[in-house]
Amino acid sequence: MTNEKNIITINQIFLKIKNKRIFENLSLSFSFRGISVILGPNGSGKTVLTKLILGLQKFDKGTIEIKNKKNIKFGYTPQKTILLRRNVFDNIAFPLLMDGCNKNEILEKVNLYLKKFDIDKFRKHSARKLSGGLAQFISFVRSVITEPDILILDEPFSNLDANLKNKIENYLIDHKLKRKIILVTHDLFQAQRLADEIILMDSGGMVSKSINKKIINSKNSKIKAFLNRNYL
């Protein structure tokens, strides 16, 4: 059963993809609020874990429970940016359209977010002609415009300049008490800067889950071995 304090409970997940073991007996839970950072090297299963939560990846054994799932609203910024072949306004508006908002509601909300993130000058620009960094940022704005209960961001900073990175980081810090934020990154120092908890992922599953953000100074043998292997 899902703990009353947790919005997501993952229990004893086993998963193989193309005969490669991704997870073996993975158990993990996420509270209703705050920033949970999933940290690990490439190929450690971080993206697969987010897809499990979103229901985009099947698994071989185990359970995933999401509290009040029917009424939960997700926001998702995938690692690979995918935008509609429309302008920036239409891309940001799309989730609102899917939610059944009327034309006036969409216009008001999108205008608010274009100004909030200082991207109003790009509203009529074709998404296909945006730089990689700006396209990635538009993908992020699109994921938050519906004010989701669970926001999942998979390496959302990879193509961004310092200004756009700061805008996302400030948003996450300002909203972490309003929703569950799951951030995937391979950046140790970013994880320590933003996280309320850090989940270390390596080949085969979770190495450790810690609310101590200063994991670089950890005396835990598993954490020390993970850091030495991947970061130090």
CATH code for the structural domain at 32-58+69-83+130-230? 3.40.50.300
DSSP 45-107: SHHHHHHHHHT-S--SEEEEEETTGGG--EEEE-SS----SSBHHHHHHHHHHHTT--HHHHH
Given the structure tokens 């934020």, which residue do they identify? Answer: 181
This prediction has a pTM of 0.91
Given the structure tokens 């300049």, which residue do they identify? Answer: 161
Tokens, residue 127: 């998404």
Higher confidence at residue 42 or residue 74? 74
Separation of alpha carbons 167 and 132, rounded Å = 16
Domain ranges of the chain: 32-58+69-83+130-230
pLDDT score at 104: 97
pLDDT in tens, 146-163: 999 999 999 999 889 999
Residues paired with 6 in a beta bridge: 31
Q: What is the Cβ-side half-sphere exposure of residue 216, based on CA atoms within 13 angstroms? A: 9
- Average pLDDT along the chain: 90
